[in-house]
Amino acid sequence: MAQWTSAVGAGQLARLLGSQQDRPAGPGTRRPPAYRALADGIRLLVLEGRVPVAARLPAERELALALTVSRTTVAAAYEALRAEGFLESRRGAGSWTAVPAGNPLPARGLEPLPPEALGSVIDLGCAALPAPEPWLTRAVQGALEELPPYAHTHGDYPAGLPALRTMIAERYTARGIPTMPEQIMVTTGAMGAIDAICHLFGGRGERIAVESPSYANILQLMREAGARLVPVAMAEGLAGWDVDRWRQVLREAAPRIAYVVADFHNPTGALADDDQRRRLVDAARAAGTVLVADETMSELRLDDDAERPRPVCAFDPAGSTVVTVGSASKAFWAGMRIGWVRAAPDVVRSLVAARAYADMGTPVLEQLAVNWLFSTGGWEQAVTVRRAQARQNRDELVVAVRRELPDWEFEVPRGGLTLWVRTGGLSGSRLAEAGERVGVRVPSGPRFGVDGAFEGYVRLPFTVGGAVAEEAAARLAAAARLVEKGGVGGGEAPRTFVA
């Protein structure tokens, strides 16, 4: 019986391999043999999760034709991968990807670093800060005081606690967007909100337009739901969206959904201005596309003089086009898994009805804690502290990276939690692997793209500062030297896997 569960075509594998970039070899640098370079490329794709484990690879002859190399080169690469535990084969069944014994399976997302590794590895993979205290403790205490009346009920609130729905609606109204509680559904984080929206509007095979680059975990969520992702390139630097390109894609591809992060975009940090927001909403309305606006970063404005555009939904007063997603996880704490959807009442009713077959509802105690923060002013106080912490981390990380890696290029965003860095021609995938060996965990650019894009980038979050930021930059520089010398790839696998 075959041991593979999916298949990768020769053309697809060739495109993925072609996306891997390396800095040109300098004088005296030895290039690996062609078979070794091919084996290393396939191994990196498996470790990155861009080629799944247990995926059947093309036959040797097919891949040789797609890559315009000899069949002998492909055969030798496959043999090297088998020897290292990254490939298994059976006569009549072909060859399929694997991972060596003792290596965790790639998760294809950005997961938190395991607790046992926190003392030895600097984690730049997770864009989240520690909880702001004392507000977390006070919020939980306040929630416990409010809990007794709810404890006498069934505890299932598929649309969310009425008090929290009302509070969220009032906050939108205060921002100049009249909102009723019936337009709000509370979810288990922003991921839960977007998952529900994708299942309601974007069935398997539906097109979803996404920014390129975009948030890695959302892209993977959409892939797992069977969506066909249509990437739309961002404007250069921090300029936000290329609205003309968006209009063309919406008109020609007619995607059912478009997913955007208008406020301090993850990963680039770009901020779309009012005109861009208005024009994109108009284009989505004309195309009949549901525009999902992710506001999870909207309150993380780090510079006081940064622009403050209106929310995307402000340009859709009827609520027929824009569905807004918010969350407490980025602005407050990732462990507070409370998100919400703002949409037309009929959309909210449909989302609530469909939820009965998923998670039934969001934990009551956490909803009460967020409601306490909103109603007491604790939210504003905590977010002020959070901004100051992220701002300081950003500034210290920027100084450290510029000192240690002067060839790396980036623009400093005015808000958010991430720095999008061009790595001077080095492969982001190989930097991520080399980082594991020197004790720094960093996600490579392709995680934030479609079909292997952004190999020459990494994302750095504003989660460390001071001496830790300096050490992180020094370790990244050491990883870069490893890649430049060809010290990554071949032979020994990484000691741990970065998801």
> 229-242 pLDDT, tens per residue?
998 988 888 988 99
Q: What pLDDT is stored for residue 354 in this prediction?
A: 86
Q: Using alpha carbons only, how large is the chain's radius of gyration in Å?
A: 24
Asked if the model's pLDDT at residue 264 lies above 80, the reply is: yes
| Residue 46 CA to its chain's centroid (Å) | 18
**pTM listed for this prediction:** 0.82
Q: Read off the tokens for 222.
A: 């959409």
- Candidates 355, 338, 359; CA nearest to 347 is 355
pLDDT 10s digits, 37-80: 999 889 888 876 678 777 889 999 999 999 999 999 999 999 99
Mean pLDDT confidence for 392-405 = 97
- Owner of token pair 């959309």: 347
DSSP codes joined into one string, 350-372: HHHHHHTTTT----HHHHHHHHH
* Greater model confidence, 3 or 173: 173
Give the integer Cα–Cα distance in Å for 430 and 488: 7
- CA-CA-CA-CA dihedral for 478, 479, 485, 491, to nearest 10: 130
- How far is the CA of 359 from the CAs of 192, 340, 363, 364, in angstroms? 9, 14, 10, 13
Q: What is the pLDDT of residue 297?
A: 95
Average pLDDT in the chain: 88
Which candidate, 341, 336, 359, places its Cα nearest to that of 156? Answer: 359
Neighbours of 46 (CB within 10 A): 20
Please give the structure tokens belonging to residue 235.
């404007």
User: Whose CA is closest to 291, among 271, 265, 261, 248?
Assistant: 261
Q: Give the pair of three-digit tokens for residue 358.
A: 């998923």
